[in-house]
Structure 1
Amino acid sequence: MKKFALMMFSVVTVLMLVACGGSKVDDSTAEKYITKAEEIVSLMNAGDYEEVHAMFDEKMKEGLPLSDMEELTPVLNQSGDFEKINKSSVEEKDGFYITVLAANYSKENLVFTVSFNDNDEVAGLFIQ
């Protein structure tokens, strides 16, 4: 649980960077990162945490070990069945591409924020 909190802290830090103002990206860059983030959401919905974990950078792998990712299952299950991605956006801030996906589920909606570093690795993951 401590490591899950560390991951959440890392993500909140990235989100604060976004709140300070990021730069919009061109359409092809936005499409690239939206596609990558949608793949992560799809894998998480399928419970394929190993595949998601393989996309993490080293800090994320340390902060959120594969064994702790099972803690995400109740969050996803309580939301119901995945329906669709309703909205998406990408901004660049300090070398990170912050991708926000608003996802509709049958019981409640979730917002996924996935941050990618300049090597296209997941540097932050937040589910709200």
Structure 2
Amino acid sequence: MKKILLITFSLVFLFTLAACGNVDDETAEHYINEATDIVTLLNEGNTEEVQTMFDEEMKGNLSEYDLRELSSYIEQSGNFKEIDKSSVEEQDELYTTVLVTNYSEGSRIFTITFNQNDEVTGLFVNE
């Protein structure tokens, strides 16, 4: 029974990976730079500028107050040190960029999704 579950899980995982497309180096560099700009703005507390980068739906779902709360959450990590890892994947004409960042008091994982117009359609920050 364990073998069947393991095989089933493995197949589901492989199909999920196949559904996500890797992007070429130029596209990856572009979206990593865009995401890095957003992280920099959030580190500086410049939430108004970040909000201008949102698509209309994000502007309606994530208020200026919410962004300030997010910025405060990021501040708890201490001083920004570096981006440790980055990746970009494309699915359904959306580009999801993941940045693993190091701070003096911990790390944060930023997941930022862009549409083809370079507008932010998703923004998540995790420990």
**TM-score bucket (shorter structure):** 0.7 to 0.9
Provide the residue aligned with 1:97 in structure 2.
95
1:65-89 deviations in Å (ceiling 9; x for gaps):
1232111133111111000000000
Q: Which has the larger radius of gyration?
A: 2
**1:20 aligned residue:** 16
Mapped partners of 1:81, 1:120: distance in 2: 28
Task: Describe the superposition over 1:1-44 as per-residue Cα deviations: whole angstroms up to 9, x where unpaired.
Answer: xxxxxxxxxxxxxxxxxx93310000000000000000000000
Runs of 4 or more above 3 Å deviation: none
Partner residue of 2:45 out of 47, 71, 88: 47
TM-score of the superposition, structure 2-length normalised? Answer: 0.83
Q: TM-score, normalised by structure 1?
A: 0.83
Q: Name the structure, 1 or 2, with higher relative contact order (CA <8 Å, separation 6+).
A: 1
| Counterpart Cα distance in 2 of 1:75 and 1:85 | 18
Aligned length: 110
Unaligned residue ranges in structure 2 (runs of 5+): 1-14
Contact 2:47 2:71 in 1 (8 A): no
* RMSD of aligned Cα (Å): 1.2
> Helix, strand or coil: the match of 2:106?
coil
* Aligned position for 1:69: 67
